[in-house]
Amino acid sequence: MAPAPHISDVTRPHESGNDIFFAAVRTTRMPMIVTDPNQPDNPIVFCNDAFTFMTGYTEAEIVGSNCRFLQGPETDRHAVDQLRAAIAKREEIALELLNYRKNGSTFWNALFVSPVFDDAGNVVYFFGSQLDISRRREAEEALHEAQKMEAVGKLTGGIAHDFNNLLQVILGYVDILENKVADADRSAKRAVEAIASAANRGATLTQQLLSFARKQELRNRLLNFNSLIGDFRPVIDRTAGEGIEVRRKLSDDLWNSRLDPVQAEMALLNLIANARDALGGKGTITIETRNVVLPDAAFGQLKLDPGEYAMVTVSDDGPGVDPAIADKIFDPFFTTKELGRGTGLGLSMVYGFMRQSGGAALLLDRPGGGATFALLFPRASGAGRAEQKPTAAHPRPDDGKRERVLMVEDQHEVGELGKEMLEDLGYTVTLTHSAREALDQLAIDSDYRLLFTDILMPGGMNGVGLAQAVRRDYPRIQVLLTTGYADEAIDEGSKSFELIRKPYRRTELNERIRAVLDRPGART
């Protein structure tokens, strides 16, 4: 068999057609190489300018080397085995491979390799065309992650909604029992307290689930995160513990954001508690704030809209996060703690709150060890103001006397409980189970002081739609909404009404009703 021609023989412009062809191959934007299987180790014998640009190597560094020099520790070995098998069988193959540039950065390479035969049917070369598809792969991975989180969010949100209704029944009857159990019956008192404590822990758990699922109703305010950190200083220090030093590096010109201060405090405390547990009770936690303008190469993986963001980071000098679990760190119920030491919902709650707030939560690489979690909030215009805590309305002895309430609740057990709680508080209650039934009742008798309605109900009208209809047609009736769940489609409408979240307690319900009925300007 005649020896295979050298690449110089192939590329020598014997004819004008060859000259044009190889000039086009060399200057095309698609990276291309040619390897010679008749030489030891199948080396590269030709590469075009696009290939050198994509990899960062010079032609002198490339020619004479096997293609494996582009592989690295994260390259899929199974895909490499497929490539080797196809070359051994003299077959063409198309696959996607993670390769490494000269500077150590990675790129996804869509590779097509095909044998080149001579007239006698012998393989004289392998031709490989390549394409950097990193952006497409990143988009696919981001879409997959979003779909996974959305599916888990729907599941957890649905569970939390139903569980909140169960907890409402439990806590409601706990309140009723507390008033009926004699103080001298200590055993019964302890039993009631234990039930209430367990139900309250369940309520916290469902709140975390709703937060991850982005199905909580947020009451956003314009504020500066520096103020929140300052006002929350004693709680932050207490959460960190005595053996941990908390350092604060706050930017003087931090931009304002629109966010729910209560949920923001919970997110910050979750990050502090996570850092505390990583440190094992001894070390340093650093809270830092600064302004960030996107797009920024350091935050390219966030898929956030370009713009201005206020960033809060919580760093610790502990062991850091294992790269093998970094992509699972925000998943619900994922935890590295010992059994019984955590639910795995703290960071997932942070993730859900940030996404619902239009921002992002992420784990940043921290040179030298430790972990850094970052929260990015979209910048809002205007001056931040300190949040004023609402003053509690103290129950009066005659609260509820002679005042009529129209209650709307589709869950039978929750409705019966709510009716009993309101009657126990002294209100006269009419219970209905749908928006249509409530409107039919109002058409007959509209002499009510308050409409107390759940938001999510079956049928063509939810609680927000009912409240809007009552405000329009019966302006003398005040409105109080309740829910254990919320959705973006109804959030905007619900914000114009007072709301109490399930599961609520007897005292809390009475205080909220009095705040609605006794506020200045309430119609009588």
Contact (Cβ atoms closer than 8 angstroms) between residue 96 and residue 81: no
With cut-offs at 50, 70 and 90, classify the pLDDT of residue 220.
low
Residue 333, pLDDT > 70, answer no
Average pLDDT over residues 392-398: 41
pLDDT score recorded for residue 389: 41
Q: Mean pLDDT lowest for which of 21-35, 339-353, 385-399, 457-471?
A: 385-399
Residue with tokens 């094992």, as numbered in its chain: 280
Residue 394, pLDDT > 60, answer no
**Third-level CATH fold of 404-518:** Rossmann fold (3.40.50)
Average pLDDT over residues 235-260: 87
Contact (Cβ atoms closer than 8 angstroms) between residue 500 and residue 509: yes
With cut-offs at 50, 70 and 90, classify the pLDDT of residue 265.
confident
pLDDT score recorded for residue 346: 57
The CATH homologous superfamily for domain 221-378 is Histidine kinase-like ATPase, C-terminal domain (3.30.565.10)
With cut-offs at 50, 70 and 90, classify the pLDDT of residue 126.
very high
Average pLDDT over residues 74-90: 90
Residue 209, pLDDT > 80, answer no
Strand partners, 117: 123
- 371-378 vs 307-316, strand pairing mode: antiparallel
Q: What is the pLDDT of residues 133-178, one digit of tens each?
A: 888 887 777 667 666 656 665 666 566 667 777 777 787 788 778 7
Helices (H), 68-185: 77-88, 134-180
Could you tell me what percent of the chain has a pLDDT over 90?
25
Q: Could you tell me which CATH number the domain at 7-132 has?
A: 3.30.450.20
Residue 11, pLDDT > 50, answer no
pLDDT score recorded for residue 258: 85
Peptide bond into 295 cis (omega under 30): yes
Average pLDDT over residues 109-128: 90
Q: Mean pLDDT lowest for which of 116-120, 334-338, 510-514?
A: 334-338
Residue 395, pLDDT > 50, answer no
Q: Mean pLDDT lowest for which of 13-22, 429-438, 515-524?
A: 13-22
Average pLDDT over residues 209-234: 70
Residue 489, pLDDT > 50, answer no
Q: Mean pLDDT lowest for which of 7-21, 71-85, 138-152, 420-434?
A: 7-21
Residue 245 CB neighbour total at 10 angstroms: 12
With cut-offs at 50, 70 and 90, classify the pLDDT of residue 338.
very low
Instruction: Tally helices (H) and strands (E) across the chain.
Output: 16, 17
Q: Mean pLDDT lowest for which of 273-282, 291-300, 396-405, 430-439?
A: 396-405
Residue 214, pLDDT > 60, answer no
d(CA 315, CA 284): 8
pLDDT score recorded for residue 296: 56
Contact (Cβ atoms closer than 8 angstroms) between residue 485 and residue 454: no
Q: Looking at per-residue confidence, does 359 or 199 come out higher?
A: 359
pLDDT score recorded for residue 291: 93
d(CA 361, CA 430): 45
